A and B are shown apart, each in its own frame.
Chain A
Amino acid sequence: MTDLSFTYYPGCSQSGSASEYGDSTEVVCAALGIELAELPDWNCCGASSAHMTNDLLSVALPGRDLAAARRIGRDVLVVCAACYSRMRIAQSRMLEDEKLARRVERAVGENPRFEGRVRHLLDVLVNDIGLPSIRERVALSLEGLKAVPYYGCLLVRPPEVCFCDSVENPTDLDRFLEALGVQVRPWSFKTDCCGGSLSLSRPDVTEKLVNKIFTRAEEAGAECIVAACPMCVANLEMRQKPSTFAFELPHRLPVLYFTELLALAMGLPGVDEWLKSHIIDPLPLMRRANLIRA
């Protein structure tokens, strides 16, 4: 039996705008026997802004978290694709480059060379728990739901630090959704960038990328998009049409977290509340597919 106890790095979004992702993560992990102990006094990974403007900072910020994880010794579990990427990159760069590790050690005042594994929850579900076991836990098959899996960038690239089975055509999330009964629609945009890092500063650019993803998902016959990253979800939900006063949604396709669908399929509590907190209302779809009563 694989060890399913982790040091949990929640990441900032999960206690902010993506609390439904954080909450659903905790609920499904508890139900599946995945033990999470929050990393004490963790700090932000620095996300795109650190690595885009200050290389050393982009390693040192996750470096402090990795140093704390090292003290504890257990593998680290992450749910945000951006945090996952920053942690994995910082970790492998420090383990390969002793000069860099020493500079980070000076900045964080502690040994940052964490030699355990940093895992994304989807990886643990697909590869440790395994899809046959997930299938066994499904109480309500989601067969009424047609979805496209959306991986975005940071779950698959750079492939050296990511877990997915292919960089151009990953199928981990596809297979996971199929295990829940979802009708997964094939499409060619599952790893296309949504432009999240330009969301506030060049919304005109982001808007084009976001709308392309919705249009392609609709053409693929999907009724919703399923993702594993709070940045992607926020960006897709909020950036279809940036403007000052009128907030508009040309595309009504709900964007959901894979953890929410897992909780729904397992019959776990809390799902209704999470669904209600989405900007693009998924309730009509869920009612139509006979998945919720409310």
Chain B
Amino acid sequence: MISNVSRQLETALEERTGQKVRHCYQCKKCSAGCPVAFAMDVLPHEVMKLVQYGQSERLLGCSTVWLCASCETCSTRCPNDIDIAGVMDGLRVMSLEAGSASERRIGVFHRSFLNGIKLLGRTNETVLIGQYKALSGRPFDDLGLGLVMFLKGKIKLVPRFVRNRRAVRKIFEETSRGRSA
């Protein structure tokens, strides 16, 4: 057996997510059923293998962990009860912490979404899209769609918000380190 493989990544992931990636025996069911596999640079079963081999650099810079849509198809089908989507969540946060996140626009989207909640306590599509356009530097995307949405009354210009916004801000402050364990 290989003995000089570092278990550090696997252990760190298990601490974060409770998932035992060493149980993966490479049946590839996760990749076979993954709806986003066509766009990924590393397939889900390969992610598992790379975790076992301690290949942090490859994993924390790959686009797969950002493209994973969290659909949980893999997690419900894994014969070894590994919550693969949970592993993706863990790796995604680790890639943020390591400053090596790929797929910049996806990260920007999540940040825009959470900024909106921090501000209002609720999500308003107009505020979200405005934030995303500003932060992603893509102001002209979807102008045609925006017009159709406006005509259909889907754009609510007056956002609704939480009265106790201080409580919402406190949640963001208290969770800013992001770890539950």
Query: Are A60's CB and B145's CB within 8 A?
Result: no
Task: Confirm or deny: A2 has a beta carbon within 8 angstroms of a beta carbon on chain B.
Answer: no
- As a 0/1 sequence over residues 153 to 181 of chain B, the CB contacts with chain A under 8 angstroms (1 = contact) are 11110001011100110111011011111
Comparing A151-159, A177-185, A218-226, the segment that makes contact with chain B is A151-159
Q: Is the CB of A197 within 8 A of B145?
A: no
Number of CB contacts from chain A to chain B under 8 A:
190
Q: How far, in Å, is A31 (CB) from chain B's closest CB? A: 24
- Residues of B51-81 whose CB lies within 8 A of A: 67, 69-73, 75-76
Find chain A residues with CB under 8 A from B38 CB. 208
CB distance from A13 to the nearest CB of B (A): 8
Q: Are A242 and B114 also in contact (CB < 8 A) when A108-B171, A157-B76 are? A: no
* Contact status of A49 and B110, CB under 8 A, knowing A56-B177, A157-B71: yes
B75 lies within 8 A of A43 (CB):
no
**Residue ID in chain A nearest B129 by CB atoms:** A200
Q: Tell me how many residues of B have a C-beta within 8 Å of chain A.
A: 67
Q: How far is the CB of B126 from chain A (nearest CB, A)?
A: 8
- Contact yes or no, A44 B117, CB < 8 A: yes
In Å, the complex CA distance between A123 and B67 comes to 31
* Residue contact B144 to A57, C-beta cutoff 8 Å: no
B residues less than 8 Å from A208 (CB atoms): 38-39
Q: What is the CB-to-nearest-CB distance from B92 to chain A, in angstroms, rounded to a whole number?
A: 6
Given contacts A244-B140, A244-B143, A53 and B149 within 8 Å (CB-CB): no
A195 touches B144 (CB 8 A): no
- Which of B10-69 touch A at CB < 8 Å? 16, 35-36, 38-39, 67, 69
Residue in A46, A193, A205, A279 whose CB lies within 8 Å of B39: A205
Contact B123 A47 (CB under 8 A): yes
The answer to whether B123 and A12 have CB atoms under 8 Å apart is: yes
Q: Does A42 contact B (CB under 8 A)?
A: yes
A-B residue pairs in contact (CB < 8 Å), sample of 17: A12-B124, A19-B156, A43-B121, A49-B113, A52-B89, A52-B110, A56-B178, A63-B171, A100-B180, A153-B71, A196-B69, A201-B105, A209-B35, A238-B145, A242-B145, A277-B153, A279-B152
Residues of A within 8 A of B (CB): 12-13, 15-17, 19, 41-44, 46-57, 59-61, 63-64, 99-100, 103, 106-109, 153, 157-159, 167-168, 191-193, 195-198, 200-203, 205, 208-209, 238, 242-247, 276-279
